[in-house]
Structure 1
Amino acid sequence: MNDKPLDKGAARTSSPKGTQTLLRGLDALQCVADGITEAGAIAAALGVPRSTAHRLLSGLVSAGYLHNIPYQGYTLGPELIFLGAKAIEQRPLISLAEPLLQDLADQTRDTVHFGVPEGDEVFYLSKINATRGGLEMRSKVGQRMPMAFTGIGKAMLFAMPENRWRSCFDRCCAMQANHPERIKPRPWPVVRDDLKRSLERGYTFDMEENEIGIRCVAAPVFDIAGTVVAAISVASAVSFMPEERMEELAPQVLKASRAISRALGWRADNEQ
């Protein structure tokens, strides 16, 4: 438990009285969320007298933002669950992601993809074309591809429990069999070892597994629960994607994917 006064306290005293009370209330909620549950400890963290903290906490309990459990202290209340659900509903994924995807495209000058899982397939929500020369990729917004054979699909797949990898791979192979013009899947042991390496480093490579002449670097996007809800990739022609450059791009792709994840409420300590 951390009883040190919040750094924000000084700013609170210079705010108008009503705003000051509101901000202190929000700070009190954050205290409880952080595990500071006893009134005296909350008062200390806020830097206010215990009587002031008690009035503030009582108001939050009356409004349903906190519970007060005898001998246990304060817990977050049902109104916060309701507001949290509404916040998720009102933050569409693509709207949050697009500025960060554009930044990534501007930095790399390569094609940037953004997709979500749909069963055993990837559904492409966004594609920003490269500003440098290179091959025209067959990917397009609204397209679906087997998850096991694309960069963003593998980024989703390696975040699944390992005991689900093989069954998903087999179903993707069955889909691929209906498209003889596509690349023949690699043997399962090769795919499995690749996924294990990807899991350890947090990103994955597509080494012309989905389209001849195209390579990409991809990473998953997490939501507030730590669930993989999407993935992003940077893709280009092989001539622009030697393995050395792919390794150099990986931190940029990972940074962008985590920025989108944080916009969805994800934190590093709830990563799966």
Structure 2
Amino acid sequence: MDTTQADAIPLQVARLDESRLVGSDRVLAVLKELARHPDGAGLEELTRVIGSPKPTVHRALASLRRAGLADQDDRGRYVLGDEFLRMAFAHHELRPEQVRIRPVLEALAARFGETAHYAVLDGREIVYRAKVDPPTGAVRLTSTIGGRNPAHATGVGKLLLAYRLDSLDAVRDWIGGEPLVRRTANTLGDAGALYRELRLSRERGYAVDDQENEVGINCLALPVYATSPATPSGAISVSALTYRTPLSTLTDAVEDVRRALGAYR
């Protein structure tokens, strides 16, 4: 075999692998889009959002249906399949931190009459891994398990960033060329302000969200050390309606939250 033939074979394999990867990406894109439509989505709508030809999206849906990850209702609209929901909920319930942290969240929700969260950092966002609503109260937060928010605009996000970004240069590198999203008038919008807030959060051992992610909502966040005694694996927060529980009420009770976490350890 000459050199030209030898070089051609890996190139063909690479192209085949790339084609398979793109196909897998399309299937996953369809799956993620279905999750945004609890009432179902039609083929035309999915095709438009995904930006792929209709036959390609239809094949992706067929693959998902064969695996039980998607289904079609009596209106012909596509929804997430029961197998996907079974897998997601089973996995979530068995996550070690979810199982261990839930009693703390329940205690905090009952103590404050507000919503308690457990969240982790994922790049520039935080992801809610667990949530417990208060046992009573007509108004509850719309946050969901698996939901995301900008890290710099949330108490849990700033708390976790405080342990990772310990200098102004580190904060600038983390921000990079992408501007900080301003969710409200209170959201920190530049590196200097964020660095000062992270340093303060690190010094006092907790972070706050003073209506920075959503008007009318504030929160107190503390670190959770589930996997390492030095670096938080995540953070818990008590998120409250400002008219019902002012931020000062939360910060005045920070030792109560620490005691609840102490019981968790």
- TM-score (ref. length: structure 1): 0.55
CA distance in 1, matches of 2:178, 2:262: 27
CA RMSD of aligned residues (A): 2.5
Q: Say whether the 8 Å CA contact 1:148–1:168 is kept in structure 2.
A: no
- The aligned runs of 1:157-236 (5 Å cut-off) are 157-163=161-167, 164-170=170-176, 173=179, 176=181, 182-183=183-184, 185-188=187-190, 189-222=192-225, 223-236=227-240
Cα 1:108–1:118 change in 2 (3 A) is same
**What code does the residue aligned with 2:174 have?**
C
| CA deviation string 1:194-219 (max 9, x = no partner) | 22211111001100001110000001
**What code does the residue aligned with 2:188 have?**
R
Cα 1:94–1:111 change in 2 (3 A) is same
Partner of 1:211: helix, strand, or coil? coil
Instruction: Find the counterpart in structure 2 of residue 122 from structure 1.
Output: 126
Give aligned-pair identity as a percent: 31
| CA deviation string 1:65-124 (max 9, x = no partner) | xxxxxxxxxxxxxxxxxxxxxxxxx98111111112111211111110111122222110
- TM-score (ref. length: structure 2): 0.56
Partner of 2:119: helix, strand, or coil? strand
**What code does the residue aligned with 2:237 have?**
S
For structure 2, which runs of at least 5 residues remain unmatched after alignment?
1-93
Q: Say whether the 8 Å CA contact 2:152–2:188 is kept in structure 1.
A: no
CA distance in 2, matches of 1:139, 1:247: 22
**What code does the residue aligned with 1:254 have?**
R
For structure 1, which runs of at least 5 residues remain unmatched after alignment?
1-89, 263-272
How big is the shift at 1:132? 4.8
Partner of 2:143: helix, strand, or coil? coil
Q: How many residues align?
A: 167
Check if 1:247 corresponds to 2:248: no
- The aligned runs of 1:137-156 (5 Å cut-off) are 137-156=141-160
Cα 1:234–1:210 change in 2 (3 A) is same
CA distance in 2, matches of 1:171, 1:129: 37
Partner of 2:116: helix, strand, or coil? strand
**What code does the residue aligned with 2:184 have?**
I
**What code does the residue aligned with 2:112 have?**
T
Check if 1:102 corresponds to 2:121: no
CA distance in 2, matches of 1:252, 1:205: 15
How big is the shift at 1:144? 1.5
CA distance in 2, matches of 1:171, 1:98: 38
How big is the shift at 1:241? 2.9
**What code does the residue aligned with 2:206 have?**
Y
Partner of 1:239: helix, strand, or coil? coil
How big is the shift at 1:152? 0.9
